[in-house]
A = this chain, B = another copy of it.
Amino acid sequence: MAYQAPMKDMLFVMNELANLEGVSQLPGCEDATPETAEAVLEENAKFVTGMVAPLNHAADKEPSFWKDGTVTTSKGFKEAFKQFAEGGWQGLQHPTDFGGQGLPKLIGTPCVEMLHGANLSFALVGLLSDGAIEALLTAGSDEQKATYLEPLVTGKWTGTMNLTEPQAGSDLAAVRSRAVPQGDGTYKVFGTKIFITYGEHDMAENIVHLVLARTPDAPEGVKGISLFIVPKFMVNADGSLGARNDVQCVSIEHKLGIKASPTCVLQFGDNGGAIGTLVGEENRGLEYMFIMMNAARFGVGMQGVGLSENAYQQAVTFAKDRVQSRDVGGSAGPVAIINHPDVRRLLMNMRSQTEAARALAYVGASLYDAAHHSLDAAVRAENQAVYEYLVPVIKGWSTEMSQDVARDGVQVHGGMGFIEETGAAQHYRDAKILTIYEGTTAIQANDLVGRKTVRDGGKVAKGLIAQVRATAGQLAELQGEAFTAISKQLEQGAADLEAVVDYVVANTKANPRAVFAGSVPYLKLAGLVLGGWQMGRAALVSQQKLSAGEGDKSFYEAKIVTARFFADHFVSQSSGIRSSIIEGSAGTLALDVDLF
């Protein structure tokens, strides 16, 4: 069975945990009623499951390919992107002024999750366009907006992000691409960019490259980087396409996964210079690029959730279908393997992590909406701060978790999982990029430590921890083993996270190497405790619904079980992680480089 949109869980999280009702009362979000949300999700699910999901496995087997500077994308991608554009899906969260639908992030997020869940390689092109749109909305001139936004928002054109260079990796201080002003308001851009996702393809008429480069007198380091628009085809005043610009795709990478998405090496200016225009002000490129990056980081977190959901669904289908070996309890004959306790454990691992990460991300999306639409500046600022704390956790934790989930998915399949035809292995391969691009997990964790924890003295983190404790307290008042178990683990998790936050705040300045040696474990701990908190909240709501006799009884019972599993098997790791962070840095850092 191909990927199906997990509508029930998505709507539950939106309505019960992420306050969709509240979002729909924000100025500008009035159309985002729960009814509209459900209708949009259903329409999106139809498109995604009908058109995009079926291409995923075939495209992995016959990836996009390069020939003589052009890239031919996998079979079906071009037509699917046409329908994606026509359906208005690219513009879902973008302003109506430029052809978008202007819906809140809380509605856009599940749609993005579906698209990525169904077909990561395909969905990437839209993710990159989203980033380009965000950057132009923030920093583009009126003319740039008028020229580029509508075609990008409507999916007529696509966008790219050009950061990485061969010598530079994630280190933008090392960017060497040059942009030389021509005196007419344009620049000639020269340089080589690598790892450019959809840097060349055949799915849209034009490609809008956003490129980091240095002007001739720019200072060294990250303070001398500017952002340029370099279109594949020049754009005439009437919006029609002009001459081919001097940017060439000289090769694409042979990758472990997401094979259908072309990862390009782009050569700018080999034939006289690629013509570009400056976005915003000179030397502020990094700042603008971070706008794209932050949108993209949240999106990559959703890739983790979507991929996990797909891997989970596939493993469940296999485990229900595959009959093998007797039950350890002693059945007469062989049973479907879903009955074997360890297969059950693997599936619950996959299910509970996916649900926890989804809930945390949707709550993040809701905070974003409040941060952008509330009339009250204090409310906006408060929500923005919490959202920003969560972004590296959503990106880093959801993607690391997706690799565990994909691995468990292969394991459920046994030997069949290792054979490419089942598709389980594709998730395992595809997932590996998620902890690397748009900033590795370590880069997310550095952000979490530096900008998100130390800078405000742990205030936002402590606020979240207080909420975790409040949820634990409410759970403790309920009758039933499951609630007691969740409450206990959340109390401990909150205490462990608090201890780590205190440690980070107290030690980063004096001993940065020790703190950063534990930054990724801190990020993981935050993901487990905050994800567990959302699952605890879900259990509370579910119990209320059950007590009131409302809704789908099985769904709520399952939610309580899943929340308990997550608490017992994931939140329970908190004390070990705390001790690794607080006591473990000496061992991490002691060895001389020569001894490795």
Contacts and interface: CB of A to CB of B under 8 A. Distances in A.
Contacts of A319: 596
Given A170-B324, A420-B256, A564 B586 contact: yes
B573 A169 contact: no
30 contacts: A169-B325, A170-B414, A171-B324, A173-B334, A255-B420, A256-B410, A256-B418, A256-B420, A316-B596, A328-B516, A336-B593, A341-B516, A342-B446, A407-B432, A411-B440, A414-B436, A414-B440, A418-B433, A425-B432, A554-B592, A554-B595, A558-B592, A562-B587, A564-B586, A564-B587, A565-B587, A567-B587, A572-B579, A572-B584, A573-B576
Interface residues of A, number: 105
A584 B569 contact: yes
A39 interface: no
A101 interface: no
A415 B319 CA distance: 34
A590 B512 CA distance: 45
A568 B590 contact: no
Number of copies: 2
B519 A325 contact: no
A535 to B, nearest CB: 11
Contacts of A338: 593, 596
Interface stretch (A11-19, A273-281, A299-307, A344-352): A344-352
Interface in A227-256: 253-256
Given A256-B428, A407-B432, A588 B345 contact: yes
A569 B575 contact: no
Contact of A351 (B328, B403, B596): B596
Contact of A562 (B328, B341, B574, B591): B591
A237 B234 CA distance: 81
A329 B326 CA distance: 57
Interface of A: 164, 168-171, 173-174, 194-195, 253-257, 316, 319-320, 322, 324-330, 334, 336, 338-345, 347-348, 351, 403, 407, 410-411, 414-421, 425, 428-429, 432-433, 435-437, 440-442, 445-446, 481-482, 485, 512-514, 516-520, 554, 557-558, 561-562, 564-565, 567-569, 572-576, 579-580, 583-596
Contacts of A590: 561, 564
User: Which of A326, A334, A336, A347 lies at the interface centre, i.e. has the most chain B CB atoms within 10 A of its CB?
Assistant: A334
Contact of A169 (B329, B414, B518): B414
A403 to B, nearest CB: 6
A403 B407 contact: yes
Nearest to A334: B171
A422 to B, nearest CB: 10
A417 B429 CA distance: 12
Contacts of A589: 341, 344
Given A254-B420, A420-B255, A342 B520 contact: yes
A343 B568 contact: no
A433 B319 CA distance: 19
Nearest to A413: B436
A330 B514 CA distance: 14
A593 B320 contact: yes
Nearest to A587: B565
Given A334-B174, A428-B256, A436-B418, A328 B442 contact: no
A592 B441 CA distance: 36
Contacts of A557: 595
Contacts of A257: 418
A344 B341 CA distance: 37
Contacts of A421: 254
B415 A328 contact: no
Given A428-B256, A445-B342, A561 B329 contact: no
A419 B255 contact: yes
B593 A415 contact: no
Given A324-B170, A339-B593, A415 B436 contact: yes
Contacts of A341: 513-514, 516-517, 519, 585, 588-589
List 9 A-B pairs, minimum CB-CB distance, nearest first: A565-B587, A568-B584, A342-B442, A341-B517, A256-B425, A341-B516, A564-B587, A171-B325, A561-B590
